[in-house]
Amino acid sequence: MSSKYLDITIVSLFTPSFVQGNWFCGVCRRKIDNDYGSYSCIKEGCSYVAHSKCATQSNVWDGVDLEGEPEEVEDEEVEPFVTISDGIIQHFSHQHHHLRLDDNTDRDYDENKMCQACIMPVYIGNFYSCMQCDFILHEEYAKLFRKIHHPIHSHLLTLVGGYDGVMDYHKDTCSACPWVCKAGFFYECSKEGCRFMLHVKFATISEPLVHPSHLYPLFLTSKPGEKQRSCSVCKELGHHSRNETFNCIECDYFALCFKCDTLPHKVRYKHDKHMLTLSYGDDTSTTTYWCEVCEGKINPRERFYMCDEYCCVTLHIQCMLGVDLSLKPGILLSDGANHIDVLSNNHHMSRPICSVCKKRCPHKVALQCSGLISCSKSCIDAKELSWVAEFCKMEF
């Protein structure tokens, strides 16, 4: 059998005769009783084990029995870039130009320059920039493996970058969150017929996950019969049908979704020379904060960005980052019937009015469909639902 919780494909059932000791299930993270049979990895040197019930869950096992089958031989690893000289590379996603490694210190911040892998500005850290155009990659994303195994999927995943076709508004979304994947880099399943896609930001998360929002380390866990968990930070019950969360095995109640985990801890705001830090709120706080962008009140019990220096600048997360984090100006979406253009919206004095919510579009991108402007995907979705409701009334 093969398991999505493994970086390998074959495990075997062992009996109570295995080496005695403290073994913990790689799926639910609970201790394994030495008196019962369980599954263990057959690869030499690997200590991965799993309860038999945990390993055979439908969301863990792909249902393929590999007994008697030869172990799959994986393709030789393909490097993501070719080194041209010291600090200069040719990346597979941008083969017509060379990229140069830049030190991101003492640079003026430009919110319009964004990494083409994660579709986020370069706040901190080194990055590769094209020597002939404005193509930019964070150093960590430039070095990602072309093929990986990931704990939330049982098949091999392949890195895709530089996609420039029309993106399906509903289908080309990440399998772990609601973001459209194909605007930046993403991993897709190598198996024919499988539509699994993973945003590149999620591929870099490893276990145990140490996160500033919780005292204890977090793990991807799955227990037989376990109900879906809502994220303890954003309070939402699953951003996607898979509803994968990182869970605490110490307190057994805290859960963190992929989307909340990958929010940048530190960001730059163009009207503050200091870095802003993500605050996770304080239930006992009585301080009043106001957002620098929308001038609205900030709930001190919820997450927001703030300057740790003397500036006292505070911003809502949505006002700082936007709501459709995976979209960039210039891409073209399709909802099946119409094309949706993603437009730049950085002209602060002439921001358009959203045709749905009737407010000025406050974020860095706006969406245009059939000549009408919407400020976000949620507004487009609301418009589609209203059309369906009107149609149903007419039919009735």
How far apart, in whole angstroms, are the C-alpha atoms of residue 29 and residue 339?
A: 46
Amino acid in the structure at residue 216? Y
From its phi and psi, is residue 228 left (phi > 0), alpha (psi between -120 and 50) or beta? Answer: beta
Nearest to 58 by CA among 203, 226, 209: 226
> How many other β-carbons are positioned within 10 Å of the β-carbon of residue 66?
15
In angstroms, the CA 364 to CA 377 distance is: 13
Q: Are 166 and 133 in contact (CB under 8 A)?
A: no
Amino acid (1-letter code) at residue 101: L
pLDDT above 70 (res 1): no
What is the dihedral angle through the alpha carbons of 179, 184, 186, 191, rounded to the nearest 10 degrees?
A: 100
From CA 314, how far away is CA 306, in angstroms rounded? Answer: 4
The type of residue at 256 is L
- Considering the four listed CATH numbers 1.10.8, 3.30.750, 2.40.50, 3.30.60, the one that applies to the domain covering 266-321 is 3.30.60
Q: Is the pLDDT at 15 greater than 70, yes or no?
A: no
Report in angstroms the alpha-carbon separations of 71 from 50, 74, 90, 332: 19, 9, 34, 42
| Amino acid of residue 325 | L
pLDDT of residue 117: 94
Q: E strand or H helix at 269, and its extent?
A: none
Bridge partners of 17, per DSSP, are: none
pLDDT digits (tens, 9 = 90+) for 298-315: 998 889 999 988 788 999
| Integer Cα distance of 41 and 59 in angstroms | 18
Cis-peptide into 264, omega within 30 deg? no
**What's the fold here for domain 1-69?**
Wheat Germ Agglutinin (Isolectin 2); domain 1 (3.30.60)
C-alpha distance across the termini of the chain, in Å: 51
The token duo for 200 is 């590149």
Q: Please give the model's pTM, rounded to 2 decimal places.
A: 0.80
Q: What's the whole-number mean pLDDT along residues 15-36?
A: 68
Q: pLDDT at position 12, please? A: 52
1-69 and 266-321 share one CATH topology?
yes
Amino acid at 138: H
Q: Mean per-residue pLDDT for 248-260?
A: 87
The answer on pLDDT for 265 being more than 60 is: yes
Point out the least confidently predicted range of 14-28, 124-138, 155-169, 348-362: 14-28
* Alpha-carbon separation of residue 120 from 9, 37, 172, 291 (angstroms): 34, 47, 19, 21
Reported confidence tier of residue 96, pLDDT bands at 50, 70, 90: very high
Average pLDDT value for residue range 250-255: 86
Residue 255: is its pLDDT beyond 80? Answer: yes
The confidence score (pLDDT) of residue 68 equals: 60
Average pLDDT, the chain: 81
Q: What is the pLDDT of residue 157?
A: 93
Ranges of each domain in the chain: 1-69, 81-142, 266-321, 332-392
Q: What is the CA radius of gyration of the chain?
A: 23
SS3 365: strand
Q: Give CA angle at 174 (322, 211), nearest 5°.
A: 65
Whole-angstrom distance, CA of residue 268 vs CA of residue 262: 16
Residue 286 has pLDDT above 70, yes or no: yes
Per-residue model confidence (pLDDT) at position 384: 66
Residues whose CB is less than 8 angstroms from the CB of residue 221 and which lie 6 or more positions away in sequence, other chains included: 27, 28, 29, 247, 249
* Rounded distance between C-alpha atoms, residue 180 and residue 196, angstroms: 13
DSSP SS3 for 44: coil
Q: What is the pLDDT of residues 199-243, one digit of tens each?
A: 999 888 888 888 988 998 898 876 655 677 788 888 877 555 556
Which residues make beta-bridge pairs with 159?
187
Q: Give the strands of the sheet with 339-344, arranged side by side.
A: 167-168, 332-334, 339-344, 365-369, 372-374
Nearest residue to 351 via CA among 294, 268, 292, 267: 294
- Residue 91's alpha-carbon distances to 9, 47, 139, 228, 242, in angstroms, are 29, 36, 11, 40, 32
User: Cα–Cα distance between 181 and 103 in angstroms, integer?
Assistant: 28
Distance CA 58, CA 63 (A): 7
- The whole-number pLDDT of residue 113 equals 86
Token reading at 30: 């609970």
Q: Is the pLDDT of residue 101 over 70?
A: yes
Looking at residue 84, its pLDDT comes to 95
What value does the mean pLDDT take over residues 77-99?
A: 93
